[in-house]
Structure 1
């Protein structure tokens, strides 16, 4: 069973980290400033690829953003590609 935790430092820099049995297998690196969440990178460990973990991280991040009335600046190539591929799904949170 996977668990996703948002772990930030005092400057609100950190990541949505995905754990399976207490082992970190994926992360989405972010920072939050005012009403903007910037996504820098999404990565999944090689042994965990192909299991949909990047999409789960994306879903968790978008849920968090909507719950906290934030906008997303998708600097991460994966997130940017998903926003471009599914603009209707993300238009309410996409800071262009």
Structure 2
């Protein structure tokens, strides 16, 4: 069974969105939060889990966290930026545009 969680290190600024499958870490997103902005730098899914939609599960958790905490997402990660561009209406509420960086 898959589950996701947001974990912060270094006094709540830098962290990860973590994805677990059967209690094993299957993927992560590297993030930071400051000034009401959530920056996402990198998305990674272990190769044994590629093609299972795990990156989308990470993205869903990221968006939920941003909404719950009234944050704008700055998509510096190519995967997240591509998803935001493909589905701009779906992510309009949380997408921080270039002038928000």
With structure 2 as the length reference, what TM-score do the two structures score? 0.91
Counterpart Cα distance in 2 of 1:76 and 1:12: 17
What is the SS of the residue equivalent to 2:52?
coil
By how many angstroms is 1:86 displaced? Answer: 0.4
Counterpart of 1:61 in structure 2 is 62
Structure-2 residue corresponding to 1:45: 46
Which stretches in structure 1 are left out of the alignment for 5+ residues?
Answer: none
Per-residue deviation at 1:2?
A: 0.8
Summarize deviations over 1:47-86 as a string: whole Å, max 9, x none: 0001000001001110110111100000000000000000
After TM superposition, the score normalised by the length of structure 1 is 0.96
- Identify unmatched segments of 5+ residues in structure 2: none
Q: Deviations over 1:12-41 (max 9, x none)?
A: 201001011221110011001121000000
Counting matched residue pairs gives: 96
SS of corresponding position for 2:82: helix
Q: Does the residue aligned with 1:92 lie in a helix, a strand or coil?
A: coil
How far has the Cα of 1:11 moved from its partner? 4.2
Q: Which runs of 4+ in 1 moved over 4 A?
A: none
Counterpart in the other structure of 2:29: 28
